[in-house]
């Protein structure tokens, strides 16, 4: 099977916005939010998630959005921090909005003979805003906290669970190692993707790319997955060696980080008061 030489498919690099995962990276800076104890930030994120789960109403959604926005402002998080999502993501977003608009949920308005469901749109918007603000509130912890401080904070927060014979220390070590290894593993998965692209041969006028039959796609998926697993297990063995070289897991959970201070108490009190008041006003 022959085909003419493929024309250059290079997209103009300047206009292209790369899809990039920008989570779990510290945004440089030294703001009040950066200085808070990691545990406080985690508690605030958990609290906000709990509040909108109890009461997913516009006032509560607005309160949570306000808290998140305040955090973003105080921490001076630039717009470029937010992950750049691929276009199809927005397409799915838009399609779901359109479908909601076509639903028959009241109130319904008529524009030029077409019934548009404002009720459906309202619910869609509330749901979308809620989802986005929750992801941002979680991501904020990663953007404003050195990664090394997260696991010790969890160790302190989970302290009471020790009495229930829950192996909290083991979990904290596991979380610390998971944070440490995730960037390396994501790099390795990217390298695997590159290895796949390098052997794709879609440039070749004679052989062409192997046909994308179900069988070929399955084989390729299987190849990539198996390679990822083998490479990861090898990495895990190196990691185990390194842990052994530091004397094993017995003392590993100890680590010092920044501690609970007055500002932390203030922030926790203020958020809790705000949330509880909103909840009371809405439901009592």
Partner 1 sequence: MQRPRKTHARGRLTPGELAEAVVLADVSLALTVVGQVVPLGGALLVAAVVPLAVVAARHRLRAVITGAIAAAAVGFLVIGTAAFTTMGACAALGALVGAAERRSWSRASTMFVGLATLWPAASVIALVAMGAFTNLRKLTLDQIRNGWLGLFHLVRNLGLVRLARPGEKFVVWVVRDWWLSVPLTLFLLIWFGIWLAHGLSTPALQRVRSAFGNAIVDEGVPDRVDEDLAAPEPLPVALRGVRYRYPNARGDALVDVTLEVSPNELVAIVGANGSGKSTLASVLAGRRLPASGELERPGPVGLGHVGGTAIVFQRPEAQVLGVRVRDDVVWGLPHPERIDVEASLDRVGLRALADRETSTLSGGELQRLAIAAALARHPKLLISDESTAMVDATGRARIVALLDELAHSDGLGVVHVTHRAAEAAAADRTIALAGGRVVDAPVLLRPDEPAKPSELRPAVRIGGPLITLERVGHIYSRKTPWANRALAEVDLTIRTGEAIVVVGHNGSGKSTLAWILAGLLAPSEGIALLEGKPIVGQVGRIGLSFQHARLQLLRPTVLDEVRTAGGVDDAAARAALAAVGLDPRQFGTRRIDELSGGQMRRVVLAGVLAAQPRALVLDEPFAGLDASGRAELDTVLTELRHRRDIALVIVSHDRDLPVGLVDRVVELEAGRIARDDPLEDAVPEAQP
Shortest Cβ 273–partner 1 spacing (Å): 21
Query: Which region among 66-74, 115-123, 259-267, 268-276 touches partner 1 (by CB under 8 A)?
Result: 115-123
Q: Which of residues 55-84 bind partner 1 (CB under 8 A)?
A: 55-57, 78, 80-81, 83
Q: Which of residues 124-143 bind partner 1 (CB under 8 A)?
A: 124, 126-127, 130-131, 134-135, 137-139, 141-142
Q: Which is nearer to partner 1, 6 or 277 (CB)?
A: 6
Q: Which of residues 194-233 bind partner 1 (CB under 8 A)?
A: 194-204, 207, 210, 221-233
Contact 278, 64 (CB under 8 A): no
Shortest Cβ 157–partner 1 spacing (Å): 11
Q: Which is nearer to partner 1, 164 or 251 (CB)?
A: 251
By CB under 8 A, is residue 259 in contact with partner 1?
Answer: no
Shortest Cβ 64–partner 1 spacing (Å): 12
Q: Which of residues 27-56 bind partner 1 (CB under 8 A)?
A: 27-28, 45, 49, 52-56
Shortest Cβ 66–partner 1 spacing (Å): 18
CA distances, 124 to each of 51, 115, 119, 275 (Å) = 19, 17, 9, 23
Nearest to 43 by CA among 159, 153, 208: 153
- Judged by CB under 8 A, the residue of 2, 3, 4, 16 near partner 1 is 16
Shortest Cβ 272–partner 1 spacing (Å): 19
- Give CA–CA dist 163/168, Å, rounded: 10
Shortest Cβ 20–partner 1 spacing (Å): 6
Q: C-alpha 278: how far from its chain's center?
A: 27
CB-neighbour burial class of residue 105 (10 A; exposed 0-12, middle 13-18, buried 19+) = middle
Contact 73, 144 (CB under 8 A): no
Q: Which of residues 260-279 bind partner 1 (CB under 8 A)?
A: none
Q: Could you tell me which residues come within 8 angstroms of residue 260 by beta carbon, excluding any fewer than 6 positions away?
A: 37, 39, 40
Contact 30, 68 (CB under 8 A): no
Contact 189, 235 (CB under 8 A): no
By CB under 8 A, is residue 235 in contact with partner 1?
Answer: yes
Structure tokens at 5: 């030489």
């Amino acid at each position: 099977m022959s085909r003419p030489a493929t024309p250059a498919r290079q997209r103009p690099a300047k206009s292209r916005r790369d899809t990039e995962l920008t989570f779990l990276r510290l945004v440089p800076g030294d703001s009040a939010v950066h200085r808070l104890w990691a545990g406080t930030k985690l508690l605030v994120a958990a609290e906000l998630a709990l509040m909108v789960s109890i009461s997913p109403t516009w006032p509560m959604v607005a309160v949570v959005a306000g808290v998140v926005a305040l955090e973003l402002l105080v921490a001076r998080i630039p717009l470029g921090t937010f992950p750049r999502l691929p276009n199809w993501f927005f397409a799915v977003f838009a399609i779901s909005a359109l479908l909601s608009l076509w639903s028959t949920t009241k109130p319904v308005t008529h524009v030029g003979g077409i019934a548009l469901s404002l009720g459906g749109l309202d619910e869609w918007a509330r749901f979308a805003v809620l989802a986005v603000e929750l992801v941002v509130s979680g991501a904020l912890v990663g953007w404003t906290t050195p990664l090394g401080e997260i696991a010790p904070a969890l160790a302190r927060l989970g302290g009471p669970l020790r009495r229930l014979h829950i192996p909290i220390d083991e979990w904290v070590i596991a979380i610390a190692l998971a944070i440490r290894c995730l960037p390396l593993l994501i790099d390795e998965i990217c390298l695997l993707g590159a290895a796949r692209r390098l052997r794709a041969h879609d440039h070749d006028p004679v052989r062409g790319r192997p046909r994308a039959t179900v069988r070929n796609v399955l084989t390729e998926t299987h190849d990539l997955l198996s390679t990822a697993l083998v490479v990861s297990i090898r990495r895990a063995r190196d990691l185990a060696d390194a842990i052994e070289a530091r004397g094993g897991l017995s003392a590993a959970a100890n680590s010092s980080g920044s501690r609970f201070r007055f500002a932390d108490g203030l922030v926790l009190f203020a958020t809790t008061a705000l949330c509880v008041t909103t909840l009371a006003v809405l439901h009592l």
